Structure 1
Amino acid sequence: MPIRNSAARSIGSAVVARLARMRSSFSGGTRRRSQDEFLAELLRQLARVAEGIHHANLIQEYRITMEQMDRTIDDPSLADARSTLDGVSEAKRRQMIFANRQYASLLLAYRIGTFGWMELLGHLRVFCRNSLFIEYWDRTREHRRSLPVDSLERRVGEAVDVIMEELADDPDEWWVVGPVEEPPRP
């Protein structure tokens, strides 16, 4: 009997050893999967941080631009240096700069995800009912033609053109949003 126990022990030891090796190979796979999942999560977090930095940079650039616009609104001599619109009074130039400022605010809000495409169109649709904004939009048409075709600002400008056309056709239906597709996010 002692031989039998010894044999059983060696067989048992071999089975235990084999199970241990199998477990370690599975745990290595589990460990590898766990590491892969960790790295994937780390990459997702890194992408979110990069997006946050991008949004912070957009906001900072916007802040600088708005400070310059505020100065040009306050000081007519600076407005002459900033504006490319000819044949407008000092008061009208200030109003046009302010209209541009409001439009830029809507673009920034969309860019950083404050609201989506349909909400942007809703804000623009209301804004397009303002006679000063309509004049601003008409006077700056050439400016928008120089924008790259695939730029967000160009695509939003084209959406505003469609809204303006719809409003010209039926001003009483200003709240109806036409079929303007959302451009891909930059």
Structure 2
Amino acid sequence: MTTQNHGVRRLSSAATAGLAFAVGVLAVLVAQQRRFEALRLRVTQALEADDRNARLAEQQRFQTYLLDKALNDPDLAEVLSTINKVDPTKRRQYLFANAIYTNALRAHRAGDVTWDELHGHLRVICQSAIFRDYWDATRHHRASLRSASQEARVGRMVDTLIRDLDESDTEEWWVVGELPPEQG
């Protein structure tokens, strides 16, 4: 019986080793499956982001095309501009001011410009009296923005910069205006 008992133990040891091997292989397969799923998800997200970026770039090209047409044709500028009772020169200036602001906003949205850099760019843009006139004339346009939206936060940044620049007693405009925290 002792011999049979050793045989069962050897079989039991072999079965245990085989089972351990099978469990190890299964664990490796599960880990590989999880890595594969994570990789598939990252690839899907990257493709979606690329698609979104391509659509945004195409939309920006088309917006630039429309703006160019409006800047070169006063009759078309009247359609694009919602500001009434301004002469054609002022209307083109306002459209251009909007294009400069929109370009800065989109550069931030695209990740090409940090919040801090956007603040600096807007500080420069706010030096223009024409931009300030445009900003004041379009105040009602921003009234309907959701207060938590990125564009509303950037709009408040411009409002604050203009106020701070107006109240400043220094000629060193490039140091005026405290950077608001980036939210959302």
Regarding TM over 0.5, the answer is: yes
- Percent of counterpart pairs with the same letter? 34
The C-alpha deviation readout for 1:24-71, integer Å capped at 9, x for no partner, is: 112212210121122112212222222222222222112111111110
Among candidates 99, 107, 110, match of residue 108 of structure 2: 110
Look up the match of 1:175.
174
TM norm structure 2? 0.89
Computed over aligned residues only, the root mean square deviation of the Cα atoms, in angstroms, reads: 1.9
Separation of aligned partners in 2, 1:21 and 1:30: 14
Look up the match of 2:89.
91
Aligned-partner residue type, residue 140 of structure 2: E
1:13 shift after superposition? 4.1
Aligned-partner residue type, residue 174 of structure 2: W
Q: Point out where structure 2 has 5 or more consecutive residues left out of the alignment.
A: none
1:16 shift after superposition? 2.5
Separation of aligned partners in 1, 2:181 and 2:125: 19
TM norm structure 1? 0.88
Among candidates 32, 39, 42, match of residue 34 of structure 1: 32
Aligned residues: 181
1:124 shift after superposition? 0.6
Three-state SS of the structure 1 residue aligned to 2:77 is helix
Three-state SS of the structure 2 residue aligned to 1:87 is coil
1:14 shift after superposition? 3.2
Paired residues of 2:116 and 2:179 also in contact (CA < 8 A): no
Find runs of 4+ consecutive structure 1 residues off by over 4 angstroms. 6-10
Q: Point out where structure 1 has 5 or more consecutive residues left out of the alignment.
A: none
Paired residues of 1:59 and 1:108 also in contact (CA < 8 A): no
Aligned-partner residue type, residue 152 of structure 2: R
